[in-house]
Each structure stands twice: as structure tokens, then as C-alpha cells.
Structure 1
Amino acid sequence: MALYAELHRHLGGSVVPRVLWRYLQRNESDLIDRFTHYPEFEDFYTRPRNTLDEYLELHTLVEGVQTADALPYFIYRLMRGAYIFENLAYLELRYTPFLRTDPTLTQSERIDQMAQIVDIVGKASQLKEYPIVSSQILCMHSRLPYEVNRALVDLAAQSRDYVCGIDLAGGDAHYAERLDEFVELYAYARSLDLNTTGHLYETTDGHYPDLLPYLMRIGHGIQIPLHHPHLLKEVARRQQCLEVCPTTYLKTGTLQDIRQLKQVFNLCFEAGVDIAICTDNAGLNDVRLPFEYETLLTQDVIGFEELQACQDAAFRHAFAWRYAQRPASLLNRILMTDATAS
């Protein structure tokens, strides 16, 4: 069995349509009243959108459902699918805990409740029957107040048993007006020795070079090789890894053809910049990690050697993977030992 690492998966976008539909049915949610049958819901949930902002609106639908009581239901099914269908050995789940708190509470009370959400997600992710090394990345959000984002960074520093890093999400077109604020928050996070990634250079609106020095990985980053290749030298020098999520760019209208990624991979390989192939929103995108691999291969975006390099890079840049090698190497060693013994 090949065992993979997934570095960029959103908790909100990871819910498979059928799982969400069944949950909404069982809880008599009015969210599905406009859909007569499941195929209509699945089409609405997974169809391509025109822009990233339109695509991200679907997250709000799921975030409202992923309450403290419901999170174990969704996470159990997420982990089961990741283990059985995707052969994942390592998974980082990212989300904004504030958006899973009780909206009837005050902002201060919701900030306090974020620790409970992190604890619920952490415990629900530890499943003996589906042994995956997993950790959380907490997402600051472009549409949340400074006080909430600052508290989120503090929570990440206080929750290292469950949390391996922080992120900035909410659509990269919305950072500009608060750029100094986000630079300050990332500098603060690094002062706390937190691992950092961030949604940058996903779209042509995501050009924020002032944030790059604070990141250990770059969420997406495809516009760097496509439109700002002069930055690749610095990205390589900092040993930053791009988290490339192929299907997302088709779903958001960012790219028109998956083969446009060939330039991304080629220029990054030439510059010595690592890429980890990821799914981003496996449920919204109706895709699993092995399918992303297969699509890139069959569309001649990369070859098998490049794929293996990306798989190796994913483990090398994983924030909570504590081993020097990826699982396949460990299995090879066991097999060689058994062969020698025989």
C-alpha cells in the first residue's frame, strides 16, 4: 500500500456531499428544502463556480452545520474515508474554530469557546481503527476582527498537542486593506515558534510579497510561477513549499485547463521549489488525493518521477510528521529485513 500525506484540506470543504445530505435529512434541516432529490443537491454542492469568493460561500453553509455537537459525526466519516479510500498516513485539517462556535454568544464568549472546538476536533481525529497521524491548522480569517485572529494565534500556541500551525484564509482578494495587521499577526506567530502557512498567490489578486517572509509553506502559490517567477529564487532560498490543489483552480475559475499547471510544476522544479499536491476541499471538489495524482499524470502535467518528488516533499514539509522518512520507506525496510531473515 502506498501511504500519502495531505497538507491542505479544509474541514468545511472536506464533507462528502452524501454525508452532508444524510446529516441534514436526519436533523430535518431546512437547508435541503429547496432540493427535491439528492442529485440536485450534489450538483449544487460540487459544480464549478465563477470566482473564488463564490466558491467560498459554500463554506459558510457547512460551517453553520459543524457545531460542537456535530463535529465528531463529520470528522469520524472524514477520517474513515481518508484511511480507506485515500491511503493517507498523515493529514492536516485546517479550519477557523470561531466559525464553529455558538453564534448566539458574544464575541468574547465565542473566543473562549474556540478551545473547546479545538479539543473536540483533536479527540475526534484520534481513531484506533483508522490510524492516521493528524493535526490541526487554525485559520485566521480575512473577514474576522483583529481580536478574534489574535486570540486564534494564542490558542494555537496553547494547543500544541492538537495544533501544528496557523493559516490565513477567507479569499486572497480581501487582505489588502488589512495587510499591516496580518503581517503583525504572522510576526507574532513566528515569535511564538508557530508553524505558518497562508493562502497567497492563489488568484491574481493574491500578490502580497510582504507576507511571504513569514511563511514556512504557501497555500496554493500558483500565481508565483505563472505571473511572478522572479520570486521563485527567494521562495527556494527560504525552502518554502507550495501547497498546490489542482481541482480547486478549475472549480473557482482561476484556471480554465488543468494543463496550465504544467508551467507551475516545470518552473518550480527548475528553481528548486518543492510542491506538495493536495485536495483543498475534497467534498466540494468531489475528488480524493489519488485522483489528483492520476489526473496530473494522465494530462501530462507531471511524470511519475515528479509525482514521487511531490509525495516526498509533502512528508518533508509536514508540520507534525516526526519521522525522517515517509511510510513507504519504513515498509521497504521491514520487507528487506523479512527477506534477509528468510
Structure 2
Amino acid sequence: MTLYAELHRHLGGSVVPRILWRYFERHSPELISRFADYSAFEDFYTRPRNTLDEYLELHTLVESVQTVETLPYFIYRLLRGAYIFENLAYLELRYTPYLRTPDHLSQSQRIDMMTEIVEVVGKASKLREYPIVTSQILCMHSRLPFEVNKAIVDLAAQNRQYVCGIDVAGGDSYSRERIDEWIKLYDYARSLGLNTTGHLYETTAGCDPQLLPYLMRIGHGIQIPLLYPELLKDVAARNQCLEVCPTTYLKTGTLQDIRQLKLVFDRCFDAGVDIAICTDNAGLHNVRLPFEYENLLTYNIINFEQLQACQDAAFRHAFAWPYRQRPVSLLNGLLNPQPTKALIS
């Protein structure tokens, strides 16, 4: 059995439609009252959107119900599915902790409560029955003020037992307007020894080369090989990995055909740039990581050798994977131990 690493999955977009529907039925029926049945809800929840901003609005639907009390419910079901159906050995969950706090509280109260959110997510992610190595990436957000985003960086630094890095999310167009803030915050994060990734070069509105030197991985990054291939040399020199999430680009209208990704993979392989294949929002897409692999193979975007290279890269660039080897090597060592010399009587 092959085991996989998932480096780019949002907590808000990870809840599959059926789980979310059942939760709403039991606890918040008003949120689904406009849908005739589950099929209508699933269609609404998973259908493609016209733009990234329209797509991101769906996150608010889930964020509103992911609270201190309910997060263990959602995380248990997320990990159960990831272990049983996706063969995940490693999972980084990313989210904005501030957006899981009650919005009626003051900003300072919500900042203080973020620590509890991180602890709840961390403890809920440690399940003996589904032994996946997990860690959190805390997302700053393009629609939150500087003070809150700095508090998120500080929170990550203070909770390294649960947190392996930081990110910035919230949409390309909003991030671009505040590029000086992001540079300052990422520079601060690096000074604290934090691992860094960031949503960048996902769409044509998010192409900000000034931020690239501060990132260890690049969230999406597909516009680099598509529009700015001259940057790939520097990306390779910095040993940066692209977190490519194939289904996302069809759901957000960023690409019209998945086969457009062939140029992304070809140029990255030629330039020596690593790619980790990810799901981004497995629930919103109603897909799982092995499907992303299969889809890329089916459309001849990559071959099996390249797929294995991407799978290896995911473990190699994982911020919190505790071993030098990926699971297949560890299992091979267990199943094929070195022969011992016979005892001489």
C-alpha cells in the first residue's frame, strides 16, 4: 500500500458535503432550508465558480460552524476519511484561527481565544485509531488587519508542538494591495524561525515577485511556469516547492481545461522545480488526493515516474514529517530486514 503526504488542505474546505449536510440537519437546519434535498445542496456546494473570490465565499459557510465546540467533530471525520480512503500518512491542515472565534467578541478577545482554537485542533488531530502525522499551518488573511495577522505569526511561534508554519490566504487581489505588510510579516516570521508558505501566483492577480524570497514553499504558484518561466531558475535555486492543486483551478475559473497544467509540470520538471500535488479543498471539490493523481495520469499531464517524483517531493518538503524517508522506504525496511549472520555453535 502506498502512503501519501498532503501539504495543502484547508480546514474550512475539507468537510465533504455529506458530513456538512448531516451536521446542518442536526444543528443548523436554517442554513439548508433553501435546498430541496441533499442532492441540491451537494450541487451548490461543489459546482464550479466563476472567480476565485466567488469560490472563497464558500469558506464562510463552514467557518461559521467550526467553533471550539464543533472542531473535534469535523476533524475526527476528516482524519477518518483521509486515513481510510486516501491512505494519508501525513497531513498539514491550514486555516485562520481568528475566523473560528465568535464574531461578537472584541478584536483583542478574539486574538486571545486563538490559542484555544489551536490547542483544540492539535489535540483533536491526534487519533490512535487513525495514525496520521498531522500539523497545522496558520493562515494570515488578506481581509484581516495587520495587528491580527501579526498575532497569528506570534501564535505560530508560541505553539510549535501543534504548528509547523504560516501562510497568507484570502484572495490574490486583496493580498496585492498590502504587499509591504506581507513582506514585513514574513520577514518577522522568518526571524522567529518559522516555516513559510503563501498563496501566490495562483491567478494572474497574485503575481508578486517581491514576496517570493520569503517563502519556503509556494501555495499554487502555477502562473510562474505559465506566464513567468524566467523565474523558475530562482525558484529552483531557493529549493522552493509548488503546491499544485489541480481541481481548484477548474472550480475557480483560473483554468478552462486541466490539460493546461501539462505546461506547468513540464516546465517545472525541466527547471528542476519540485511540485507537490495537493487537494486544497477536498470537501468543496468532493474529491480525494488519489483522484488528483489519477486525473493527471488519465489526461497524460504526467507519467508514473513523474507522479512518484511529486509524491517524493511532498514528503521531502513537508514541514513536520519526522523521518528522513517516505513511508514506503520505512515499510520496505520492516518487510525486508537485513539478513543476520548465522550463529556459530
Normalised-by-shorter TM-score class: over 0.9
Equivalent-residue separation in structure 1 for 2:334 and 2:106 (angstroms): 54
State the Cα distance separating 1:322 from its structure 2 match: 1.5
Report the equivalent of 2:156.
156
Amino acid across the alignment from 2:11 = L
State the Cα distance separating 1:29 from its structure 2 match: 3.2
Report the equivalent of 1:219.
219
State the Cα distance separating 1:338 from its structure 2 match: 8.0
* Aligned positions, number: 342
Counterpart check, 1:32 vs 2:24:
no
Equivalent-residue separation in structure 2 for 1:83 and 1:194 (angstroms): 28
Amino acid across the alignment from 1:266 = D
Matched residue of 1:14: which SS? coil
Equivalent-residue separation in structure 1 for 2:50 and 2:57 (angstroms): 12
1:272-311 correspondence runs (5 A): 272-311=272-311
Runs of 4+ in 1 over 4 A off after TM superposition: 338-341
Counterpart check, 1:173 vs 2:167:
no
Amino acid across the alignment from 2:130 = Y
Amino acid across the alignment from 2:111 = I
Matched residue of 1:85: which SS? helix
Amino acid across the alignment from 1:122 = G
Matched residue of 2:168: which SS? strand
Name the TM-score, length of structure 1 as normaliser: 0.98
Equivalent-residue separation in structure 2 for 1:248 and 1:340 (angstroms): 50
Equivalent-residue separation in structure 1 for 2:131 and 2:71 (angstroms): 19
The superposition leaves residues 215-265 of structure 1 with CA deviations (integer Å, 9 ceiling, x where unpaired) of 000000000000000100000000000000000000000001111100000
Equivalent-residue separation in structure 1 for 2:78 and 2:338 (angstroms): 34
Report the equivalent of 1:121.
121
Equivalent-residue separation in structure 2 for 1:70 and 1:139 (angstroms): 20
Amino acid across the alignment from 1:86 = E
Name the TM-score, length of structure 2 as normaliser: 0.98
Amino acid across the alignment from 1:119 = E
State the Cα distance separating 1:176 from its structure 2 match: 2.1
Matched residue of 2:322: which SS? coil
Equivalent-residue separation in structure 2 for 1:68 and 1:5 (angstroms): 27
Equivalent-residue separation in structure 2 for 1:176 and 1:281 (angstroms): 23
Change (3 A) 1:66 1:16: same
Counterpart check, 1:134 vs 2:122:
no
The superposition leaves residues 40-94 of structure 1 with CA deviations (integer Å, 9 ceiling, x where unpaired) of 0000000000000000000011000101111000000000000000000000000
Q: Structure 1: which 5+ runs fail to align? A: none
Report the equivalent of 1:98.
98
Equivalent-residue separation in structure 2 for 1:269 and 1:313 (angstroms): 12
State the Cα distance separating 1:33 from its structure 2 match: 0.8
Matched residue of 1:94: which SS? strand
Superposed CA RMSD in Å reads: 1.2
State the Cα distance separating 1:339 from its structure 2 match: 8.1
Counterpart check, 1:200 vs 2:205:
no
Amino acid across the alignment from 2:41 = F
Equivalent-residue separation in structure 1 for 2:30 and 2:166 (angstroms): 34
Amino acid across the alignment from 1:195 = N
1:179-258 correspondence runs (5 A): 179-258=179-258
